[in-house]
């Protein structure tokens, strides 16, 4: 059965995740009649449902989008502020790396609960209709029309605008490939597996809760984010070939005893051995495309436009920011879709490519660099410069997480800052080396070399030439 309905200023949103739900709220406020379609059942009726990622980190970008929708305080109430990274060294030591200025934090929150809150807020809008268990089969951005399947029946709807928020394997994006769109996707050799740190016997957190916990092990790493039920969601990121070597429960225990010794007591040996094989490691993919729109009739947002690996925690944040910026452009161009959609692509494509590059880089930093003295020195220098020049010098992590600077601009600014800092450190290091050489020369000239009282002579020389 084909039901073709024409309605002026009608929007069809494909995908009932956080980005699609937030877009529905914003578009309804612009006077559009919104139909939001989700292939799965209503997640609000599945209170015990668990997704692949139990929780996520909301940063300034995502929180800014939620604030415009009037939902930021509600979401903060179901989240846990995280103020620093907590590094677990391979030798049993640990240390903290603060995120930035006092008051800056990430919010660890339940992804599914966030989705429920946004769906309920969208449903309360007078001109938003939610449709569940209706899968998009095909769409045509030229007309535009969208055909959905529900219980074996097919219905085709004509609309004004199709908004694709349907994730990595976007059907809306596939339909747009018939036009002039560049598209690429790349799987990295690493996959991820989720594990759990349960509450301790007293019912409290087994680790300090207000931190992103990281176990950097150079080629791979594990992270842990706190949940409201006092558990932690752990995610192990590792090359697929390494997973293939772990075949038995004994292999799991041996692997963790070697690389993540301090995690075993809080995970529990038996739970670890059972949960490790509960699900196969999942792949990680980066998607890039250009443009994000088709004429004035179709647009894609979130993972449909720029799926990224999760190592900067910006996948959802960038998607929510898409919805926010799209609404800003709608305001600027008085909801003229022929002007809004190209402007959105111009604004977001390079930024989407930028966060893809940043996310891949941050994996290197998290699994390896955070364990090196050079990284810690750079963090101290960056922090000092940011304190002295707060508006002129912003560390890379702060620009990505605690600002609204476009991601591609973040990369350009970071490269300039890195050049300045690296040159300054090299200059200071060379100056220090020159002073050491000069000091050795003076010691030699004064005949202190070979003297049984060399240490006392050096002390006298240092006192004479430097301390005074």
**Domain span including residue 382:** 372-468
Segments of the chain scoring below 70 in pLDDT: 1-8, 47-54, 102-103, 366, 368-372, 429, 432, 438-468
Name residue, tokens 């036009």: 179
* Beta-sheet strands, E only, within 89-199: 94-98, 106-110, 128-132, 135-140, 145-150, 153-158, 161-164, 182-197
Which of 342, 367, 392 terminates a domain? The answer is: 367
Alpha helices, H only, 47-145:
60-68, 72-76, 111-123
* Sign of the dihedral through C-alpha 449, 452, 454, 460: negative
Q: Looking at the 3D structure of the chain, how many domains does it have?
A: 3
pLDDT digits (tens, 9 = 90+) for 95-124: 888 887 766 788 998 889 999 999 999 999
Q: Domain containing 177 — which CATH number?
A: 3.50.50.60
Q: Which of 194, 216, 220, 187 is nearest to 281 (CA)?
A: 194
349 within domain boundaries: yes
Do residues 385 and 412 both lie within one domain? yes
449 within domain boundaries: yes
Do residues 126 and 254 both lie within one domain? no
By three-state DSSP, how is residue 307 classified?
A: coil
Which of 282, 304, 327 terminates a domain? The answer is: 282
What pTM was computed for the model?
A: 0.86
Do residues 249 and 347 both lie within one domain? no
β-strand partners of 298: 162, 294
The predicted structure's pLDDT at residue 48: 62
pLDDT digits (tens, 9 = 90+) for 156-213: 999 999 999 999 999 999 999 988 899 999 999 999 999 999 999 999 999 999 999 9
Work out the burial of residue 123: count CB atoms within 10 Å of its CB; fewer than 13 is exposed, 13-18 middle, 19 or more buried.
middle
Distances in Å between the Cα of 10 and the Cα atoms of 7, 101, 120, 126, 290 are: 6, 44, 20, 14, 25
β-strand partners of 86: 96, 213
391 within domain boundaries: yes
Return the C-alpha torsion angle 389, 393, 399, 401, nearest 10. Answer: -40
The predicted structure's pLDDT at residue 91: 82
């Amino acid at each position: 059965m084909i039901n073709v309905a024409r309605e002026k200023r009608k929007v069809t949103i494909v995908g009932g995740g956080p980005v699609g739900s937030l877009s529905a709220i914003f578009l309804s406020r612009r006077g559009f009649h919104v139909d939001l379609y989700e292939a799965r059942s209503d997640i609000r009726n599945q209170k015990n449902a668990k997704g692949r990622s139990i929780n996520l980190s909301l940063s300034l970008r995502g929180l800014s989008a939620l604030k415009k929708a009037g939902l930021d305080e509600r979401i903060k109430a179901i989240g846990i502020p995280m103020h620093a990274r907590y590094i677990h060294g391979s030798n049993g030591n640990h240390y903290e790396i603060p995120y930035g200025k006092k008051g800056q934090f990430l919010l660890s929150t339940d992804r599914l609960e966030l989705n429920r809150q946004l769906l309920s807020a969208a449903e309360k809008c007078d001109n938003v209709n939610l449709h569940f268990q209706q899968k998009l089969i095909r769409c045509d951005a030229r007309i535009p029309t969208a055909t959905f399947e529900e219980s074996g029946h097919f219905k085709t709807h004509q609309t004004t605008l199709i908004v694709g928020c349907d994730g990595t394997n976007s059907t809306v994006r596939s339909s747009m490939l018939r036009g002039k769109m560049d598209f690429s996707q790349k799987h990295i050799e690493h996959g991820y597996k989720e594990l759990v740190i349960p509450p301790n016997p007293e019912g409290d957190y087994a680790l300090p809760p207000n931190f992103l916990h990281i176990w950097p092990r150079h080629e791979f790493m594990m992270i842990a984010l706190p949940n409201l039920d006092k558990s932690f969601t752990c995610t192990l990121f590792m090359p697929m070939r390494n997973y293939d070597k772990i075949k038995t429960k004994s292999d799991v225990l041996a692997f963790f005893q070697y690389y993540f010794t301090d995690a075993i007591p809080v995970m529990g040996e038996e739970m670890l051995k059972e949960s490790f094989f509960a699900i196969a490691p999942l792949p990680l993919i980066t998607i890039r495309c250009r443009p994000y729109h088709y004429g004035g009739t179709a647009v894609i947002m979130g993972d449909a436009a720029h799926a990224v690996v999760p190592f900067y925690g910006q996948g959802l944040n960038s998607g929510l920011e898409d919805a926010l910026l799209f609404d800003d452009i709608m305001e600027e161009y008085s909801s003229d879709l022929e002007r809004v959609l190209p402007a959105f692509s111009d604004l977001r494509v390079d930024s989407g490519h930028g966060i893809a590059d940043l996310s891949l880089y941050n994996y290197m930093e998290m699994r390896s660099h955070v364990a090196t003295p050079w990284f810690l020195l750079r963090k101290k220098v960056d922090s000092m410069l940011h304190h002295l020049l707060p508006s002129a010098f912003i560390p890379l992590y702060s620009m990505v997480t605690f600002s609204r600077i476009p991601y591609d601009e973040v990369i350009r600014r970071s490269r300039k800052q890195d050049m300045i800092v690296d040159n300054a450190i090299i200059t200071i290091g060379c100056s220090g080396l020159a002073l050491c050489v000069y000091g050795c020369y003076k010691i030699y000239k004064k005949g202190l070399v070979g003297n049984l009282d060399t240490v006392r002579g050096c002390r006298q020389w240092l006192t004479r030439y430097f301390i005074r």
